[in-house]
Amino acid sequence: SLTEAVTLANGLKMPKVGLGVYKMENDEEVINAVKSALDVGYRHIDTASFYDNEEGVGKAIKESSIPRDELFVTTKVWNDEQGYEETLQAFERSLKKLELDYLDLYLIHWPVPGKFKDTWKALEKLYQDGKLKAIGVCNFMEHHLEELLEDAVEKPMVNQVEFHPELYQKDLADYCYQKGIQLEAWAPLGRGRYFDAAILKQLAVKYDKTPAQIILRWHLQHDVVIIPKSSNKERQKENADLFDFDMNDDEMKKIDALHKNERIGKHPDEFD
Ligand code: NAD
């Protein structure tokens, strides 16, 4: 169910399925989407200062009157907010927009060269001050993590990266697993670009599920946290109805084989 969680390196529970809200640009859309997700039973919301919708997320949470400690809220520090002092300020801005007094997870959105280490120091400070429950990164490849770990006091608890069958980053997943860093997938559905792949359709028939559910179950069986985006209540339900079937190793390998090393988003060394 939607309360199923992974346990992060510091003991914090993180629900395995959350709602992503990227590109929900007007207030009404984001408020309605978050309200309907909370109604369906989602307790984990993934936003970012870059998405410019933290206020809407905050409003929907407030109006839901769900106890704060039952929710898991993530936001991210954007590229032009990085640096030590800048990040401390960006955090306060996000918290205010979200109308929260702490965050569950704060992430560095992209590994801005020359800055992400100072940004990390700010996250460590916020963590030590008890203003958030966990800290992590996004879009870090192994070399970025190695660089960060050189003088980090706290290890990132989460790495959120583009991850879906056509971009099955197995080496990165293994590396994170070995370091105790929870992998989280963005664009877990590959933005719906290849739902008609034969293997997905076959397994959908076999398990009486949709190709979207087959993909999302594939993530869960690889121990990856997912944040599929949808504003539509029926799809939100569909994307959470993943806990009543198990694919076997052979089927998992067939989905793994969809890997093409093709990104939808930017390469972490080439973003701007
Ligand atoms: P996604 O893979 O979640 O795909 C979303 C698309 O699929 C939407 O167009 C939606 O309408 C459609 N969809 C959703 N459920 C469906 C279903 N059951 N059947 C058919 N179509 C369905 O892509 P995403 O939104 O890019 O990624 C999810 C979240 O990840 C974002 O909302 C955001 O929170 C996060 N994200 C993070 C980063 C980062 O750099 N850290 C980058 C991009 C996205």
Q: What is the ipTM of this complex?
A: 0.99
Exactly one of 51, 106, 127, 168 is catalytic; which is it? 51
* Residue 240 falls inside a structural domain: no
Report the predicted TM-score, pTM, of the whole model to 2 decimal places: 0.98
| Whole-angstrom distance, CA of residue 215 vs CA of residue 99 | 34
SS3 151: coil
- Interstrand relation of 13-15 and 5-7 (parallel, antiparallel or unpaired): antiparallel
DSSP lists the bridge partners of residue 159 as 137, 183
* Residue 105 falls inside a structural domain: yes
What's the token pair of residue 142?
């192994």
What is the per-residue pLDDT across 102-149, written as a single tens digit (0 to 9) for each? Answer: 999 999 999 999 999 999 999 999 999 999 999 999 999 999 999 999
pLDDT attached to residue 70: 98
Neighbours of 250 (CB within 10 A): 7
pLDDT attached to residue 271: 84
Predicted confidence (pLDDT) at residue 272 exceeds the cutoff of 90: no
- Tell me which DSSP letter residue 11 carries: S
Q: Does residue 227's CB lie within 6 angstroms of at least one atom of ligand 1?
A: yes
* Residue 255 falls inside a structural domain: no
**Minimum-distance ligand 1 atom for the alpha carbon of 195:** 20
* Residue 171 falls inside a structural domain: yes
* Residue 115 falls inside a structural domain: yes
Cα–Cα distance list, 248 to 25, 210, 236 (Å): 39, 17, 25
| Whole-angstrom distance, CA of residue 111 vs CA of residue 116 | 6
Closest CA to 132 of 84, 100, 160: 100
Closest CA to 167 of 185, 180, 179: 185
| Whole-angstrom distance, CA of residue 127 vs CA of residue 166 | 35
Binding-site residues for substrate sit at: 109
What is the per-residue pLDDT across 118-128, written as a single tens digit (0 to 9) for each? Answer: 999 999 999 99
Helix (H) or strand (E) holding 205: helix 198-207
Q: How many domains does the chain have?
A: 1
What's the token pair of residue 183?
């992998």
Q: Does residue 175's CB lie within 6 angstroms of at least one atom of ligand 1?
A: no
Show the domain range for 54. 12-192+223-231
SS3 6: strand
* Residue 199 falls inside a structural domain: no
Cα 93 to middle of ligand 1, angstroms: 25
Cα–Cα distance list, 148 to 137, 185, 269 (Å): 10, 20, 15
* Residue 173 falls inside a structural domain: yes
- Tell me which DSSP letter residue 12 carries: -
Count of alpha carbons within 13 angstroms of residue 143, beta-carbon side: 3
Instruction: Tell the residue nearest (CA) to atom 35 of ligand 1.
Output: 186
Contact status, residue 208 vs residue 14, Cβ threshold 8 Å:
no
Q: What CATH code is carried by the domain that includes residue 29? A: 3.20.20.100
* Residue 92 falls inside a structural domain: yes
pLDDT attached to residue 123: 98
